Chain A
Amino acid sequence: MSSEKETKTNNFWGNIFSRDKDTGAMSTSDFLENIPVFKELSRRERKRVAAIIYDRTYEPGEFMFEKEQPGAAMFMIKKGQVKIVAPSKQGSEIELATISDGQFVGELALLDDSPRSASAKAAAPTQALAFFRTDLNKLLDTEPVIASKILRELAIIIGKRLKATNEQLYGKDV
C-alpha cells in the first residue's frame, strides 16, 4: 500500500518530462500485452496507452458500474474477481458471469455511451484498470495509428461474440 502511494506521489512530483521512466506505467504497459484489445500494439504504443489508463482498487461488494448507467470506460481486471450481475424480476441479483485476472468488461463503452446492459460488482478485493472512451477518441485525433489498431481489435472481438451469440440462439447451422 505504501509503495503504491509512493509511486502515485512520484508520478505527480517527479520529473515532469520523464514519463517513459514511470515504473507504474511500465507495469501497466506489460499487463496490456495480454489484453486482446491491445495485443497488436507495439511496446512504445502500449506505453502511450498505459499513460492514459487509470488504476482503481475495489472492495468486495463495490460496483465498477451499474446497469442502465451510461457506459464511459472499459475495465480490465489486474487482480481479483468481478461478477457480472443483473436484477431479476423478483428483485434479487442474477449472476451472469464471473471474470478474473487478465479479463476485461464493459468494452462496448469504448464505442458509445449507451446504457450498460448489466452491472459489474467486485466479488473479492480487486485491482482494475479503466480505459475511457474520451481518451480513445482523443487518441484518434492525436495518434490515429494506435487508435485504429485498438478499434480494429475491438471490432474483431465484437464480431466473434456476435457469431457466438448467433450459434447459441440458432445452433451451429446458422
Chain B
Amino acid sequence: MIRTEKSPAQKRRAYLLFGTFAAAFITVLVYLFVSLRPLLLPAVIGGLAAFISKPILDFLTKKHGMHRELGIFLILGLFIGIIAVVIYVVQSALPDERDKLLLRTRIQYKINERFVSFMGIDSTGEGNILYNFAGKDLAKALVSVNAKLTLSPHERDLFLSYAKGSGHNPPFDEKFMGYFQVNIANDQKRLAAPVSGDPEARSVPSEEEGQDAGESKIQLLAHVIETWILMPFVFLFLLADNGQIKRYLVGFVPNKYFEVTLIVMDKANDAIGNYLRGITLECSLVGLTFVFFLWIIGFEIKWAIIVGAIAGITTAIPIVGTIIGFIAGSGYAFLAEESCSFIPFFTANNLIIGVVLTVIIAHLLDNAVFQPIVLGGAVSLHPLVVITAIFGASLLFGPIGMLFAVPTIAILKVFFSTLFKELKAYSII
C-alpha cells in the first residue's frame, strides 16, 4: 500500500511524535544502562563472541554445506564447552579451606624470608644500602601485610588439625610446619614491638574474620547464574540472526541517509570484525607463548595455563597487560618450592629470572610478530589515548572496564572515522 503525500501539518505531527518517542526511548535506555550495569558485561561478552564466531558459521554453512541450525548448535556447544573448561580450570585452581590456610602460611613466611634476604638484614638488625634507604618504610608495609596474613587462633587450630592429615588429605610437609612456627614467632615479636602508627598492624584477625561464611556461597552462585545466564542467550540469538536485526533497524532510517547508513554499517562491521578477530588471535598467541615458556622454565602445567590465560586475556590492555602477566607469573615464582624445568639453569630460587625472560619474549613476539601480522596496524591509537582510556574505564567500571577500554576506543575510532568519511562523500556534512 503506497501512502499519499503528507501535508506539512501531518509532517509536523509526525516529527513531534517521533521526537517525543525518541527522547523517551533514550531516557529509558540510559536508565536501564545504569540500573542493569551488572548485566552489561555478560551481554557484551556474549555479543562479542557471536560477532567473532559469525565467519566460522558462514564457513561451516556456506562453504561446507552444513545445515545452519546444526552449525549454530555446534558453535554454541563449543562456546559452552570453552566456558565449562575455563570454570573447571579456575575452580580447580581456587584453594579450599585447607589450601587457603597453607597458602597464607607459605606467603607470610616467604614474604618475611625474601624481605630479610633482599635487604641483607643480619643477626644484629643491620641491612644493606637498600635497607638503609627505604627499609623502614618497607618494614611498616610488611607489618601491615603480616597483619592481613596472620592466622587467627581458630585458624591455627584448624591448620594443626589439617597438618596431621585427615581422610584423603595427606599430612602437611614438615617444612610447612616449620613455616607455621616461624610465622607464630614473628607474630609474637610484632605484637610485642613498640606501638606503630598503624593500629591494624598490631591486630590479630578475629574468629569471624578467619571463617568463611558458608551460606554466602549459595547466594554467590545464585547471583552469578542470575547474571551470567544471559550470556549464552545473547550469543545464541545474535549468532542465529541472519541480518533481521539490521534490516529492522535500517527500516527506521530516513531515505536521505539510507545508502550512507548501509555503507557505514558494512564498512564499520568489516573493520570492527577484523579488529576483534585480530585482537582475539593476538591474545591467544600471547597466552600460548606464556604457557609454553613458563612450562619450559619449570612451572607446573596447571599454573602455566592459568598464568598464560591471565596474561593472554590482559593483552587486550596495552602496557598494563604485560605488567599483570609479570605479576601473575612472579607470584607463582615467589611461592614455588620446587621446579621441574627443562633447562637445568632454572631452580625454584631463580624462577623469577625465567618469568622475566618469558615476559620479555612474549612482549617482543607480540610487538614484532603477532601485532603486525594479525592486526596489521589497522587501528593505531595514540599512547596518551590508551592510557587515558584505561584509567578512565578503570574508574568507571573497575578491572573489567580496563579490559574493554582499548577495544571499545578502537571500535569507536573505526566507527566514527568511517562515518565522517562517508558523510563527506555523500555531501551530508
Could you give, for residues 118-136 of chain A, a 1 whenever the CB lies within 8 Å of some chain B CB and a 0 otherwise?
0000000111001010100
CB distance from B424 to the nearest CB of A (A): 10
CB distance from B243 to the nearest CB of A (A): 7
Contact pick for A63, options B3, B247, B250, B255, CB 8 Å: B255
A79 and B2 contact, CB distance less than 8 A: yes
**Cα–Cα distance between A60 and B5 once the two chains are bound (Å):** 7
Contact pick for A69, options B69, B251, B426, CB 8 Å: B426
A59 within 8 A of B: yes
A108 within 8 A of B: no
Contact A127 to B2, CB < 8 A, known contacts A8-B248, A12-B245, A19-B242: yes
Instruction: Give the segment of A49-57, A150-158, A164-172 that binds chain B.
Output: A49-57
A68 within 8 A of B: yes
Give the chain A neighbours of B207 by CB distance below 8 A. Answer: none
A58 within 8 A of B: yes
**Cα–Cα distance between A107 and B5 once the two chains are bound (Å):** 28
Contact pick for A72, options B62, B243, B256, B262, CB 8 Å: B262
Query: Could you say which interface size class chain A belongs to?
Result: 35 or more
A125 and B2 contact, CB distance less than 8 A: yes
A56 and B248 contact, CB distance less than 8 A: no
A30-82 with Cβ < 8 A to chain B: 51-52, 54-60, 62-66, 68-70, 72-73, 79-80
Contact A69 to B3, CB < 8 A, known contacts A8-B251, A16-B241, A142-B58: no
**Cα–Cα distance between A11 and B241 once the two chains are bound (Å):** 11
A174 within 8 A of B: no
A4 within 8 A of B: yes
B25 within 8 A of A: no
Contact A69 to B255, CB < 8 A, known contacts A4-B1, A134-B262: no
Contact A16 to B262, CB < 8 A, known contacts A70-B425, A79-B2: no
**Cα–Cα distance between A57 and B427 once the two chains are bound (Å):** 22
CB distance from B63 to the nearest CB of A (A): 8
A59 and B6 contact, CB distance less than 8 A: yes
Give the chain A neighbours of B263 by CB distance below 8 A. Answer: 70, 72, 134
A16 and B247 contact, CB distance less than 8 A: no
Chain B interface, >50% SS class: helix
**Cα–Cα distance between A72 and B266 once the two chains are bound (Å):** 11
B236-266 with Cβ < 8 A to chain A: 237, 240-245, 247-248, 250-251, 255-256, 258-260, 262-263, 266
A16 and B240 contact, CB distance less than 8 A: yes
B92 within 8 A of A: no
B1-40 with Cβ < 8 A to chain A: 1-6
B62 and A143 contact, CB distance less than 8 A: yes
B62 and A59 contact, CB distance less than 8 A: no
A59 and B259 contact, CB distance less than 8 A: no
A1 within 8 A of B: yes
A125 closest partner in B (C-beta): B2
Contact pick for B3, options A12, A57, A64, CB 8 Å: A57
**Cα–Cα distance between A7 and B426 once the two chains are bound (Å):** 31
B1 closest partner in A (C-beta): A1
B2 and A56 contact, CB distance less than 8 A: no
A11 and B248 contact, CB distance less than 8 A: yes
CB distance from A101 to the nearest CB of B (A): 11
B255 and A56 contact, CB distance less than 8 A: yes
B59 closest partner in A (C-beta): A142
Give the chain B neighbours of A3 by CB distance below 8 A. Answer: 1
**Cα–Cα distance between A29 and B255 once the two chains are bound (Å):** 23
B237 and A54 contact, CB distance less than 8 A: no
**Cα–Cα distance between A70 and B423 once the two chains are bound (Å):** 11
CB distance from A77 to the nearest CB of B (A): 11
CB distance from A116 to the nearest CB of B (A): 10
CB distance from B59 to the nearest CB of A (A): 9
B250-299 with Cβ < 8 A to chain A: 250-251, 255-256, 258-260, 262-263, 266
CB distance from A58 to the nearest CB of B (A): 6
**Cα–Cα distance between A11 and B250 once the two chains are bound (Å):** 13
Q: Which A residues fall within an 8 A CB radius of B?
A: 1, 3-4, 8, 11-12, 16-17, 19, 51-52, 54-60, 62-66, 68-70, 72-73, 79-80, 125-127, 130, 132, 134, 141-143
Can you list 18 A-B contacts (CB < 8 A)?
A: A3-B1, A12-B244, A54-B247, A54-B258, A55-B251, A56-B255, A57-B2, A68-B427, A69-B425, A70-B263, A72-B259, A72-B262, A72-B263, A125-B5, A130-B258, A130-B259, A134-B262, A134-B263
Known: A132-B262, A134-B263, A141-B62. 8 other contacts (CB 8 A): A62-B255, A62-B256, A66-B427, A73-B259, A79-B2, A125-B3, A134-B266, A141-B58
